[in-house]
Amino acid sequence: MTSEQNTHFGFKTVAETEKAKKVAEVFHSVANKYDLMNDVMSAGLHRSWKRFAVSVSGVNPGDKVLDIAGGSGDLSKLFAKKVGPTGQVILTDINASMLGVGRDRMLDAGLNVPAMQCDAEKLPFPDQYFDCVIVAFGLRNMTHKDKALAEMQRVLKVGGRLLVLEFSKVWQPLSKAYDVYSFKLLPIMGKLLAKDADSYQYLAESIRMHPDQETLKQMMVDAGLSKVDYYNLAAGVVALHKGYKT
């Protein structure tokens, strides 16, 4: 008989089998207000961070792109324009509510972007299929980040790029002000705009539990990626990591 493993859900310690359920509840709750809250939380900066990720992705017309934890589809929309009619973008998310929002947005925009519900730790794609894989603001919610990164590396072609856009460790002189914003103001905004303070409390906590820039860089190297580097955006509030499959 094996003992059940524990993991973090924000600042709480929970069984691994419980985490996926709890994360799902968070995103079912916030799905319909997710874009509004992103705009409020980042003063609209999340849109420029995503455009920057696309600009450094190295993606060309005709390429295949996998958008993991793509949620409402911001990045899939940008990449679809980048790869053009000869390319392919696949939008995935483990959460049906988030995926439904993204799928509807792709249809409304007239874009041919398939939406698939799947777990990043067990991707249903063949080896060496994609030119670029991106996960934005989703890795920190995954239970086994090492497994997810290894799967992303597996489905990349040789020469392909993995991009991880995620909240990270802020510049130290700003940390106290950032804590006040995250743990005082953010839950209040969640309550006012999404009628859900608890979910936004979790989101703030999950950011603090996520690996910092150098730790995530090493995790990507351990997953088999090379030439891994990162860009700090907004004083480290967010970092964009990029690695290659060789």
Bridge partners for 66 per DSSP = 90, 133
- Is 119 known to sit in a ligand binding site? yes
- Is 93 known to sit in a ligand binding site? yes
Catalogue all structural domains in the chain, each as residue range(s) with its CATH number: 3-245 (3.40.50.150)
| Per-residue pLDDT, 16 | 77
Mean pLDDT for the stretch of residues 15-29: 74
pLDDT exceeds 60 at position 188? yes
| Per-residue pLDDT, 185 | 86
Mean pLDDT for the stretch of residues 189-204: 81
- Is 72 known to sit in a ligand binding site? yes
- Is 96 known to sit in a ligand binding site? no
Please classify residue 177 by burial: count the beta carbons closer than 10 Å to its beta carbon, then call 0-12 exposed, 13-18 middle and 19+ buried: exposed
Which strands, in side-by-side order, build the sheet including 226-233?
115-117, 88-93, 64-68, 130-136, 156-167, 238-244, 226-233
Higher pLDDT, 12 or 68: 68
